[in-house]
Amino acid sequence: MSEVAYRIDALQYANWSEEIFEQMRSGGVDAVHVTIAYHENFRETVANMERWNSYFERFPHLVFQGFSGDDVRLARDTNRTAIFYGFQNPSPIEDDIRLVEILHTLGARFMQLTYNNQSLLATGCYEAEDTGVTRMGREVIEEMNRVGLVVDMSHSAERSTLQAIEISARPIVVTHANPGFWHPALRNKSNAILQGLGETGGMLGFSMYPHHLRAGSDCSLADFCRMIADCAEIMGVDHIGLGSDLCQNQPDSVVEWMRVGRWTKKIDYGEGSASNAGFPPMPEWFGDNRDFGNVEQGLLEVGFDANDTAKIMGNNWLRFFDENFGPHD
Amino acid sequence: MSEVAYRIDALQYANWSEEIFEQMRSGGVDAVHVTIAYHENFRETVANMERWNSYFERFPHLVFQGFSGDDVRLARDTNRTAIFYGFQNPSPIEDDIRLVEILHTLGARFMQLTYNNQSLLATGCYEAEDTGVTRMGREVIEEMNRVGLVVDMSHSAERSTLQAIEISARPIVVTHANPGFWHPALRNKSNAILQGLGETGGMLGFSMYPHHLRAGSDCSLADFCRMIADCAEIMGVDHIGLGSDLCQNQPDSVVEWMRVGRWTKKIDYGEGSASNAGFPPMPEWFGDNRDFGNVEQGLLEVGFDANDTAKIMGNNWLRFFDENFGPHD
């Protein structure tokens, strides 16, 4: 195969450090979509960008901020990792549609319309009822389409997700989840969503977060890769990639922030439970960024050829970045 | 009747001035619930409180901030008007449940769970679908119950309102709306809501805003007061009062802020239309705060006795203030 095979991870949220950036280099990871907001408001999100700017200043030989697909190529050419920003909740735009453009200018490339709860835009997967996309949600999708901020429905409820696929004039994504037919977790996705993403040029990134895996932390690489093969049958091999959901070295206080934010005074265990409140251990074949080679090998072993393996490992995401991170043509 | 007859208006949003405060005195208005936030976030709401503090400093002989029912009695005793704060949207608490207590300490006494759109807490009456009260909504209602911040569903959708009545451990209110059986505007309320409010110790404040009136600006005082009599049959005469929705001297830019906030880049006309975008003229019998005597006279003329008239003019609201503005006993 003469084409370059890129490695792109469409979702990580680690306790960032020089060590992790070096692991990205060891794993040959050209680009990572990093979460920079769970429940942060605009100003808090900007503070997280300030922290990333300090990483870029301190470790310019390892990481730099990515804005476009070409930055993934630049990363490969210069042996570095391009970091793309995204939000797991629309909290950074607060109630202000015009913050969509401001945040895109600052580098935001993905925004979930909801985390687990109802947002101003749509319904999260933990709500009992799902209204679908709200009045403001329709306006914000149109604005995201205009500037090139990608709609991500990873944590959204079924109806909201199907409506977002329909309403959005540009393809949307689920950066990190797995098919529900394989493991029926609340966060995993129905065949209707998988088909909708595939038919509209969208993307699904496969999660390696144990709560999304059949058998959890004990999930085998072969089982994971067979699931990807089954999913490719439904969606097409051009619409799938990786979104590991790697939450490396995070203290349990962080998973509490992710789940509880400021919306309740109680504890909500989200996908965990009182007896399993923290981050579960990752599967042994994917402990950190150095292990992307394992996944590549697993894909080859379940029968993907080199070209399709390269698509899943990163080339599909690169095509998607090229087409969706800027204004409409 | 030996009991004092108070006059309380449960909703005004005027372009405040010394002239309007003097009109409150001319009309014998003992207390007004004033809107201090439509779409304002926490800091912007505090800025509006700062502005009110400047009014209280400049016009201490006319107005002062009210915190409890006793402040209404103080207002009567000192010939002034007590001003109580409220929000027409939960935007002042942003996504932070602990701002409920902070804002109550600052004097907030009513908070609508939604304005016209979906909020983090519930669904507004202009959304196509109504999820009811959200996960965060249930938590926030519990916290509002704890501190004594009253749930107001004036602009909320049907199902959300019925759920709020059911979920809230303390009575809730609709500060400003009319029954839908009389004028089927989107903002007016179903018999189910009226009955629910009456049965749970809640309150309805009758609106004199033309979009909520049968025949709009041409609505007669007699028709308005007959509607109140019909409503008393459904809810009981102890659960009704006034909530005029007086928006005096506001420029049309303010109605645009109320309707559009920051949620769309387009214009939304709300209850108006492109050809009738601004504030409609008030009915001739209620132009400003000097006209509360007309309403009192109208109530007597449709057959309410002096005691029931006093209840509707303010004594019901005073009882409600006494019971609901502080922590649970």
Confidence check on the interface: ipTM exceeds 0.90, yes or no:
no
Residue B133 and residue B153: Cα distance in Å, rounded? 11
Amino acid letter at A266?
Answer: K
Query: A272 falls in which pLDDT band (50, 70, 90)?
Result: confident
**Residues of chain B with C-beta less than 8 angstroms from the C-beta of A95:** 39, 41, 91, 261-263
What pLDDT score was predicted for residue B267?
85
Q: What is the mean pLDDT of residues A324-329?
A: 86
Helix and strand tally (H, E) in chain B?
12, 9
Q: Is the pLDDT of residue A274 over 90?
A: no
What pLDDT score was predicted for residue B90?
98
Cross-chain CB nearest to B126 (options A41, A135, A137) = A135
Task: Say yes or no for a CB contact (<8 Å) between A94 and B41.
Answer: yes
Q: What is the mean pLDDT of residues A18-25?
A: 98
* Element holding B228 (H helix, E strand): helix B221-235
Q: Is the pLDDT of residue A212 over 50?
A: yes
CB B139 within 8 A of CB A118: no
**Residues of chain B with C-beta less than 8 angstroms from the C-beta of A128:** 135
Q: Residue A151 is encoded by which pair of tokens?
A: 């709609």
Cross-chain CB nearest to B264 (options A119, A139, A265) = A139
Q: State the best of A138, A257, A263, A269 to mutate against chain B, taking most chain B CBs within 10 Å.
A: A263
Closest-CA distance of chain B to residue A264, Å: 6
Please name which of A53, A61, A49 lies closest in space to residue A21, comparing C-alpha atoms: A61
Task: Say yes or no for a CB contact (<8 Å) between A135 and B119.
Answer: no
Q: What angle do CA B324, B325, B329 make, to 5 degrees?
A: 60
DSSP string for residues in B283-299: PTT-SSGGGHHHHHHHH
Amino acid letter at B122?
Answer: A
Residue B72 and residue B82: Cα distance in Å, rounded? 6
Task: Say yes or no for a CB contact (<8 Å) between B123 and A131.
Answer: yes
Query: A329 falls in which pLDDT band (50, 70, 90)?
Result: low
Task: Say yes or no for a CB contact (<8 Å) between B131 and A136.
Answer: no
CB A219 within 8 A of CB A213: yes
Task: Say yes or no for a CB contact (<8 Å) between B131 and A129.
Answer: yes
Task: Say yes or no for a CB contact (<8 Å) between B131 and A135.
Answer: no
Cross-chain CB nearest to B264 (options A97, A127, A132) = A97
Task: Say yes or no for a CB contact (<8 Å) between B139 and A95.
Answer: no
| Residue B236: inside a domain | yes
Relative orientation angle of helices B191-199 and B158-167, to the nearest 10 degrees? 10
Please name which of A289, A168, A183, A280 lies closest in space to residue A230, comparing C-alpha atoms: A183
Q: What is the mean pLDDT of residues A309-319?
A: 98
**Residues of chain B with C-beta less than 8 angstroms from the C-beta of A130:** 131
Q: Residue B110 is encoded by which pair of tokens?
A: 């009513």
Across A63-77, A109-123, A169-183, B2-16, least confident range: B2-16
pTM listed for this prediction: 0.90
**Residues of chain A with C-beta less than 8 angstroms from the C-beta of B128:** 131, 135
From chain A, which residues contact B within 8 Å (Cβ)?
39, 41, 91, 94-98, 117-120, 123, 126-132, 134-137, 139, 143, 261-266
Task: Say yes or no for a CB contact (<8 Å) between B262 and A96.
Answer: yes
Please name which of B200, B222, B199, B219 lies closest in space to residue B209, comparing C-alpha atoms: B219
What pLDDT score was predicted for residue B251?
86
What pLDDT score was predicted for residue A1?
44
Residue A28 and residue A7: Cα distance in Å, rounded? 7
CB B139 within 8 A of CB B97: yes
Q: State the best of A89, A118, A133, A143 to mutate against chain B, taking most chain B CBs within 10 Å.
A: A118
Q: Residue A4 is encoded by which pair of tokens?
A: 């370059």
| Residue B2: inside a domain | no
Closest-CA distance of chain A to residue B137, Å: 9
| Residue B329: inside a domain | no
CB B9 within 8 A of CB B32: yes
What pLDDT score was predicted for residue B21?
98
Residue B77 and residue B64: Cα distance in Å, rounded? 13
A256, burial (CB in 10 Å: exposed 0-12, middle 13-18, buried 19+):
middle
**Residues of chain A with C-beta less than 8 angstroms from the C-beta of B91:** 95
CA distance from start to end of chain B: 31
What pLDDT score was predicted for residue A273?
81
Q: Which residues of A184-198 are buried (b: 16+ CB within 10 A; e: fewer)?
A: ebebbbeeebbebbb
| Residue A237: inside a domain | yes
To the nearest whole percent, how much of chain A has pLDDT over 70?
99
Q: Is the pLDDT of residue A195 over 80?
A: yes
To the nearest whole percent, how much of chain A has pLDDT over 90?
91
Instruction: Kindly report the CATH number assigned to the domain that includes residue B115.
Output: 3.20.20.140
Closest-CA distance of chain A to residue B325, Å: 21
Task: Say yes or no for a CB contact (<8 Å) between B97 and A265.
Answer: yes
What pLDDT score was predicted for residue B215?
95
**Residues of chain A with C-beta less than 8 angstroms from the C-beta of B127:** 131, 134-135
What pLDDT score was predicted for residue B329?
63
Please name which of B181, B209, B213 lies closest in space to residue B195, comparing C-alpha atoms: B181
Which phi and psi (to 5°) does residue B280 adopt?
Answer: -75, 155
Residue B5 and residue B314: Cα distance in Å, rounded? 7
A with B: how many residue pairs have Cβ under 8 Å apart?
96
Closest-CA distance of chain B to residue A121, Å: 8
Q: Residue B222 is encoded by which pair of tokens?
A: 């007699």
What pLDDT score was predicted for residue B197?
98
Domain count, chain A: 1
Task: Say yes or no for a CB contact (<8 Å) between A97 and B131.
Answer: no
| Residue A99: inside a domain | yes
User: In this predicted model, what pLDDT tens digit does every residue of A29-70 receive, in sequence order?
Assistant: 999 999 999 999 999 999 999 999 999 999 999 999 999 999
Q: What is the CA radius of gyration of chain B?
A: 18
Domain coverage including residue A42: 8-324
Q: State the best of A125, A135, A139 to mutate against chain B, taking most chain B CBs within 10 Å.
A: A135
Task: Say yes or no for a CB contact (<8 Å) between A94 and B139.
Answer: no
User: In this predicted model, what pLDDT tens digit does every residue of B142-188 receive, in sequence order?
Assistant: 999 999 999 999 999 999 999 999 999 999 999 999 999 999 999 99
* Inter-CA distances, A288 with A134, A180, A248, A311, B206, Å: 38, 25, 7, 21, 62
| Residue A1: inside a domain | no
Length in residues, chain A: 329
CA distance from start to end of chain A: 31
* Element holding B319 (H helix, E strand): helix B316-324
Q: Where are the alpha helices (DSSP H) in B42-108?
A: 42-58, 69-78, 99-105
User: What is the average pLDDT value for chain A, to the nearest integer?
Assistant: 96
Task: Say yes or no for a CB contact (<8 Å) between A131 and B126.
Answer: no
Could you give the 3-state DSSP secondary structure of residue B204?
strand
Please name which of B46, B138, B29 lies closest in space to residue B92, comparing C-alpha atoms: B46
Task: Say yes or no for a CB contact (<8 Å) between B129 and A132.
Answer: yes
Residue A28 and residue A149: Cα distance in Å, rounded? 26
Residue with tokens 């503070």: A47
CB B118 within 8 A of CB A136: yes
Residue A176 and residue A242: Cα distance in Å, rounded? 7
| Residue A3: inside a domain | no
DSSP-derived letter for residue B155 is T
How far is C-alpha A212 from the chain's CA centre? 13
Closest-CA distance of chain B to residue A107, Å: 22
| Residue A329: inside a domain | no
pLDDT tens series, chain B, 329 aa: 457 999 999 999 999 999 999 999 999 999 999 999 999 999 999 999 999 999 999 999 999 999 999 999 999 999 999 999 999 999 999 999 999 999 999 999 999 999 999 999 999 999 999 999 999 999 999 999 999 999 999 999 999 999 999 999 999 999 999 999 999 999 999 999 999 999 999 999 999 999 999 999 999 999 999 999 999 999 999 999 999 999 999 888 888 888 899 999 998 887 778 877 778 899 999 999 999 999 999 999 999 999 999 999 999 999 999 999 999 76
Cross-chain CB nearest to B263 (options A126, A136, A263) = A136
**Residues of chain A with C-beta less than 8 angstroms from the C-beta of B132:** 129
Could you give the 3-state DSSP secondary structure of residue A287?
coil
Residue A280 and residue B35: Cα distance in Å, rounded? 47
